[in-house]
């Protein structure tokens, strides 16, 4: 902020005005100088306040950047690979989504289909399942450790692809696991384009 050049410019203008009017004596010049002195002091106060506000803002930004850098980054999205029906008569068959699309933080295991919480916090999970064979019963279950969180199902009567999906916000302790199961006598259809997906992310650590 150009404080001093501005003050000098104002001073010169005032002096020029006084001289242009033939001068009004030393008292007038002294009064003008005193006024400029007060104005300059006010400008200095305003500049000091502005600098203080800018420094406070910079400190807040630095704290937020530090906190963001320290926050764990966890997010994954995976789909089934291959094509055809996926189903079994065995109860509680784990669903494995081996086509990893995103796995920030490496908390999802594509060999087991299990997500393991790396930190205590609030997480969001979502799944999508597809079926399309006539007289096909399709269903999936979402589990947290040994606790059943959701069980969604549909029955196909015609040869049309149908989807079911759901999403949940879960509180997890560190090392809690979340995974999908296929109930007995249920099956899914994979068209080869990740029609069946499982995703999750850390919303906020606690």
Q: How confident is the model at residue 14 (pLDDT cuts 50, 70, 90)?
A: low
Q: Left if phi > 0, otherwise alpha if psi is -120 to 50, otherwise beta: which for 204?
A: beta
Which residues sit opposite 12 in a β-bridge? none
- Fold of the domain built from segment(s) 75-205: Jelly Rolls (2.60.120)
Supply the pTM of this predicted model.
Answer: 0.68
Tens-digit pLDDT profile for residues 159-173: 778 889 999 999 999
Question: How high is the mean pLDDT of the chain?
Answer: 83
Is the pLDDT at 38 greater than 60, yes or no?
yes
Q: What is the pLDDT of residues 104-137, one digit of tens each?
A: 999 999 999 999 999 999 999 999 998 877 777 8
Say how far apart CA 27 and CA 107 lie, in whole Å: 81
Q: Which of 16-20, 25-29, 31-35 has the highest mean pLDDT?
A: 31-35
Question: Which residue in 177, 107, 91, 174 sits closest to 139, CA to CA?
Answer: 91
What are the boundaries of each domain within the chain?
3-70, 75-205
């Amino acid at each position: 902020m150009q404080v001093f050049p501005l003050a000098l410019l104002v001073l010169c203008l005032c002096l020029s005005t006084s001289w242009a009017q033939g001068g009004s004596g030393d008292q007038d010049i002294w009064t003008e100088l005193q006024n400029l002195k007060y104005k300059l002091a006010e400008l200095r106060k305003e500049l000091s306040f502005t600098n203080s506000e800018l420094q406070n803002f910079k400190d807040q930004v630095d704290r937020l950047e530090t906190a963001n850098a320290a926050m764990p980054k966890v997010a994954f999205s995976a789909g089934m690979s291959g094509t055809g029906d996926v189903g079994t008569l065995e109860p509680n068959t784990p669903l494995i989504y081996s086509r990893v699309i995103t796995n920030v933080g490496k908390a999802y295991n594509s060999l087991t289909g299990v997500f393991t919480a790396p930190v205590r916090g609030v997480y969001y999970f979502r799944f999508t399942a597809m079926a399309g064979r006539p007289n096909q019963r399709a269903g999936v279950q979402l589990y947290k450790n040994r606790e059943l969180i959701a069980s969604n199902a549909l029955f196909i009567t015609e040869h049309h692809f149908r989807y079911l999906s759901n999403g949940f916000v879960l509180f997890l302790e560190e090392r809690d696991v979340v995974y999908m199961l296929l109930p007995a006598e249920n099956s899914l259809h994979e068209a080869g384009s990740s029609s069946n997906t499982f995703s999750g992310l850390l919303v906020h650590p606690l």
